[in-house]
């Protein structure tokens, strides 16, 4: 027997009971109202029957008690319809929030052994997602482009975290920093879609699109002579770090994470573990570079950092920024030169001067072939033009 629940008067006339009163939306899809007492406004549910398995699934929709009683049926119906569409298109029965998607992504990285990437993502989510209760608590099915755009706008206005974390941030967030924070969220939402928690990326596809040409540090190229000047101008411990970055195009963080045990003197190889590339990889070093790394390992235990500061502590970005700036100034180099500029310069030389193929460069530097072609494609085009010129008759 059909029961009316779409009007306030009809719901008030219902007897309290635990079992919901159901209203048929269409075949296999129902919206329900549970009235447990005469004094409360009741709660709303949705029921869906999977035609393939025949199983019925229930989904709590909430109380909607912040809305006027006359608006609650329509609100519940809208949310129920969204869930029905989600299930019709293959979505999972589990509904998660933005925060839930972020935690699932961190676990996904950990399960695949990508501890460094998981730690970085978790740190970003803790700063920019979990503290925003409204955004973090939004169910993915209810996530809208406006909600994502509002989050992005607020994040862009947030000052960057200073090196001295005890002081308030005042420096404006750069476009490249914004891109990195958005990348973590975009990856989490894309994984949620892949896992069936949502069936479309419409809410974030356009709103989390990276700022183009934001990473200006790749434009700072230092030639061999400039690199030598920088190394010579730096104090001894910084000089060793800069020399290592000039010899092997690793990310500064990955270079700083190397341990003595990662260098194999017998095979002249280093094993790279802590890097965005994920899985460990080995790089065979030429004799001169191997000799330099061997000297760094002398009289050190395997678990000791390969490159250390003067006080014996490991390097990190907060420790090397100031000393490298001092060396840049002393060497008379462009003020925008950074530790990362050495990686960029080394990659540029491997492609432009030494004509190394991009796949090998990608493997050496621990990045994707797509990324190499995106940022160094102009060098490849120059190679192609030169090659075509040699074909002229």
The CATH label, of 1.10.286, 3.30.160, 3.10.28, 1.10.150, for the domain at 8-88 is 3.30.160
Please write the tens of the pLDDT for every residue from 298-348.
999 999 999 999 998 889 888 999 999 999 999 999 888 989 889 989 998
The answer, yes or no, to whether residue 164 has pLDDT greater than 50, is no
CATH number of the domain located at residue range(s) 98-214 in this protein: 1.10.150
**pLDDT, greater one: 163 or 269:** 269
- Mean pLDDT for the stretch of residues 349-356: 86
Integer angstrom CA distances of residue 124 from 97, 103, 185, 211, 322:
17, 11, 9, 18, 24
The CATH label, of 2.40.50.700, 1.10.1060.10, 1.10.443.10, 3.40.630.30, for the domain at 219-389 is 1.10.443.10
- Mean pLDDT for the stretch of residues 182-189: 93
Predicted local confidence at residue 90, as pLDDT: 65
Please write the tens of the pLDDT for every residue from 36-55.
887 778 899 888 887 777 78
The answer, yes or no, to whether residue 392 has pLDDT greater than 80, is no
- Mean pLDDT for the stretch of residues 60-78: 89
Predicted local confidence at residue 380, as pLDDT: 65
**pLDDT, greater one: 92 or 34:** 34
Predicted local confidence at residue 225, as pLDDT: 94
- For the chain, give every domain's residue range: 8-88, 98-214, 219-389
Predicted local confidence at residue 176, as pLDDT: 79
Q: How far is CA 152 from the centre of its chain?
A: 14
**pLDDT, greater one: 356 or 381:** 356
Cβ neighbours of residue 196 closer than 8 Å, sequence gap 6 or more: 90, 91, 92
Work out the mean pLDDT of the chain and round it to a whole number. Answer: 85
């Amino acid at each position: 027997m059909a029961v009316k629940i779409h009007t306030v008067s009809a719901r008030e006339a219902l007897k309290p009971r635990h079992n919901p009163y159901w209203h048929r939306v269409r075949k296999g899809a129902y919206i329900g109202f549970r009235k447990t007492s005469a004094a409360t406004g009741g709660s709303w549910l949705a029921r869906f029957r999977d035609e393939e398995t025949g199983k019925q699934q229930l989904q709590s929709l909430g109380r909607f008690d912040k809305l006027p009683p006359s608006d609650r049926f329509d609100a519940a119906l809208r949310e129920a319809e969204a869930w029905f569409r989600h299930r019709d298109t293959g979505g999972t029965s589990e509904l998660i929030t933005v925060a839930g998607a972020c935690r699932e992504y961190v676990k996904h990285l950990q399960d695949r052994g990508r501890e460094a990437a998981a730690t970085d993502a978790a740190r970003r989510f803790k700063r920019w997602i979990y503290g925003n209760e409204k955004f973090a608590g939004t169910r993915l099915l209810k996530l809208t482009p406006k909600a994502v755009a509002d989050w992005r706008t607020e994040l862009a206005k947030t000052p960057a975290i200073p090196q001295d974390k005890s002081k308030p941030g005042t420096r404006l967030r750069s476009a490249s920093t914004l891109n990195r924070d958005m990348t973590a969220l975009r990856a989490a939402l894309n994984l949620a879609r892949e896992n069936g928690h949502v069936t479309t990326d419409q809410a974030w596809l356009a709103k989390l699109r990276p700022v183009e040409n934001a990473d200006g540090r790749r434009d700072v190229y230092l030639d061999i002579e400039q690199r030598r000047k920088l190394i010579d101008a730096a104090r001894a411990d910084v000089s060793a770090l800069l020399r290592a970055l000039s010899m092997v195009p690793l990310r500064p963080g990955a270079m700083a994470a190397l341990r003595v045990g990662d260098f194999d003197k017998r095979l002249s190889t280093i094993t790279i573990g802590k890097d965005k590339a994920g899985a460990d990889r080995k790089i065979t070093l030429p004799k001169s570079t191997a000799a330099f790394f061997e000297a760094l390992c002398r009289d050190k235990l395997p678990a000791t950092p390969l490159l250390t500061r003067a006080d014996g502590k490991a390097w990190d970005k907060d420790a090397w920024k100031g000393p490298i700036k001092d060396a840049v100034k002393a060497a008379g180099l462009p003020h925008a030169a950074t530790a990362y500029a050495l990686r960029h310069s080394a990659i540029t030389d491997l492609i432009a001067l030494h004509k190394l193929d991009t796949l090998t460069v990608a493997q050496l530097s621990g990045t994707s072939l797509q990324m190499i072609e995106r940022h160094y494609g102009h060098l490849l085009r120059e190679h192609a033009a030169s090659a075509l010129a040699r074909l002229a008759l």
